[in-house]
Amino acid sequence: MVEKLQHKYALSENGAKEMIKAFVACTIANLAQMMPVSILFFMTNDLLNGGIPKGHITLFVVGGVLCLILIAVTEYFQYNATFFSTYVESGVRRRSLAEKLRKIPLSFFGKKDLADLTNTIMADCARIETASSHWLPELVGAMISTTIVVVSLFFFDVKMAVAAVWVLPVAFIIVFTSRNVMHKVNRRGSKYNVECLDGIQEGLETIRDLKAYNAQENYLKGLNKKIKAVESHNIFSEFLNAAFVVSAQMILKLGIGTVAVVGAALLIKNEINVITFFMFLLVVSRMYEPLQVALQNFSALIATDTQCERMDEILSHEEQTGEDSLSNDGYDIQFENVRFAYEDGETVLENVSFTAKQGEVTALIGPSGGGKTTVSRLAARFWDIEDGKITVGGMDVSKIDPETLLSMYSIVFQDVTLFNNTVLENIRIGKKDATDEQVMAAAKLAHCDDFIEKLPEGFNTMIGENGSELSGGERQRISIARAFLKDAPIILMDEATASLDVDNESLIQEALSDLIKDKTVLIIAHRMRTVDGADKIVVLKDGLVAEQGTPSELKEKDGIYNHMISVQMKSENWKLEM
Query: What region does 539 belong to: left with phi over 0, alpha with psi -120 to 50, or beta?
Result: beta
Contact yes or no for 446/475 (Cβ under 8 A): no
Q: Which residue has the higher pLDDT, 31 or 69?
A: 69
Is 441 found in the same domain as 389? Answer: no
Confidence of residue 225 (pLDDT cuts 50, 70, 90): very high
Q: What is the pLDDT of residue 193?
A: 84
Is 477 found in the same domain as 494? Answer: no
Distance from C-alpha of 114 to C-alpha of 220, rounded to nearest angstrom: 20
Is 422 found in the same domain as 404? Answer: no
Distance from C-alpha of 498 to C-alpha of 477, rounded to nearest angstrom: 11
315 found inside a domain = no
pLDDT(151) > 90 = no
pLDDT(573) > 70 = no
317 found inside a domain = no
Q: In this structure, what CATH number is given to the domain that contains residue 327?
A: 3.40.50.300
Is 433 found in the same domain as 347? Answer: no
Distances from the Cα of 387 to the Cα of 190, 351, 390, 541, angstroms: 36, 9, 10, 19
Contact yes or no for 313/121 (Cβ under 8 A): no
Supply angle C-alpha 215, 221, 227, rounded to 5. Answer: 135
Is 280 found in the same domain as 163? Answer: yes
Average pLDDT on 97-101 reads 81
Is 397 found in the same domain as 432? Answer: no
Q: What is the pLDDT of residue 392?
A: 93
Confidence of residue 500 (pLDDT cuts 50, 70, 90): low
- Helix/strand/coil (H, E, C) string of 1-43? CHHHHHHHHCCCHHHHHHHHHHHHHHHHHHHHHHHHHHHHHHH
Give every CB contact of residue 39 below 8 A, 6+ residues apart in sequence: 60, 63, 64, 67
Q: What is the pLDDT of residue 477?
A: 84
CA atoms within 13 A on the CB side of 296: 10
- Helix, strand, or coil (residue 384): coil
507 found inside a domain = no
Confidence of residue 435 (pLDDT cuts 50, 70, 90): very high
Q: What is the pLDDT of residue 336?
A: 94
Tens-place pLDDT, residues 319-354: 888 888 888 898 999 999 999 987 666 788 999 999
Is 530 found in the same domain as 449? Answer: no
Burial class of residue 343, CB neighbours in 10 A (0-12, 13-18, 19+): exposed
312 found inside a domain = no
Q: In this structure, what CATH number is given to the domain that contains residue 208?
A: 1.20.1560.10
Distance from C-alpha of 511 to C-alpha of 530, rounded to nearest angstrom: 14
Sheet of strand 387-392: strand arrangement: 347-356, 333-341, 387-392, 395-396
Tens-place pLDDT, residues 503-561: 666 766 766 776 777 889 898 877 776 777 788 999 998 889 888 988 888 888 878 88
Residues of the chain above pLDDT 70, percent: 89
Average pLDDT on 290-298 reads 76
Beta-bridged to residue 547, according to DSSP, are 539
Is 422 found in the same domain as 399? Answer: no
pLDDT(72) > 80 = yes
Residues of the chain above pLDDT 90, percent: 10
Is 75 found in the same domain as 204? Answer: yes
Q: Which residue has the higher pLDDT, 442 or 134?
A: 442
Residue-number span of the structural domain to which 238 is assigned: 2-306
Is 468 found in the same domain as 355? Answer: no
Q: What is the pLDDT of residue 252?
A: 83
Q: What is the pLDDT of residue 396?
A: 93
| E-state strands within 413-567 | 490-494, 520-524, 536-541, 544-549
Is 176 found in the same domain as 37? Answer: yes
Distance from C-alpha of 439 to C-alpha of 457, rounded to nearest angstrom: 16
pLDDT(446) > 60 = yes
Which domain-ending residue is among 249, 281, 306? 306
Is 168 found in the same domain as 297? Answer: yes
Q: What is the pLDDT of residue 355?
A: 93
The structural domain count of the chain equals 3
Average pLDDT of every residue of the chain: 81
Q: What is the pLDDT of residue 570?
A: 65
pLDDT(267) > 60 = yes
Distance from C-alpha of 570 to C-alpha of 572, rounded to nearest angstrom: 5
Distance from C-alpha of 514 to C-alpha of 177, rounded to nearest angstrom: 70
Contact yes or no for 163/263 (Cβ under 8 A): yes
Q: Which residue has the higher pLDDT, 402 or 130?
A: 402
Distance from C-alpha of 107 to C-alpha of 379, rounded to nearest angstrom: 14
Average pLDDT on 147-160 reads 85
161 found inside a domain = yes
- Weakest mean pLDDT among 26-30, 83-87, 472-476, 572-576: 572-576
385 found inside a domain = yes
Confidence of residue 7 (pLDDT cuts 50, 70, 90): low
170 found inside a domain = yes
pLDDT(575) > 60 = no
Side chain identity at residue 384, one-letter code: D
- Helix/strand/coil (H, E, C) string of 328-375? CCCCCEEEEEEEEECCCCCEEEEEEEEEECCCCEEEEECCCCCCHHHH
Q: What is the pLDDT of residue 29?
A: 82
Which domain-ending residue is among 273, 306, 339? 306
311 found inside a domain = no
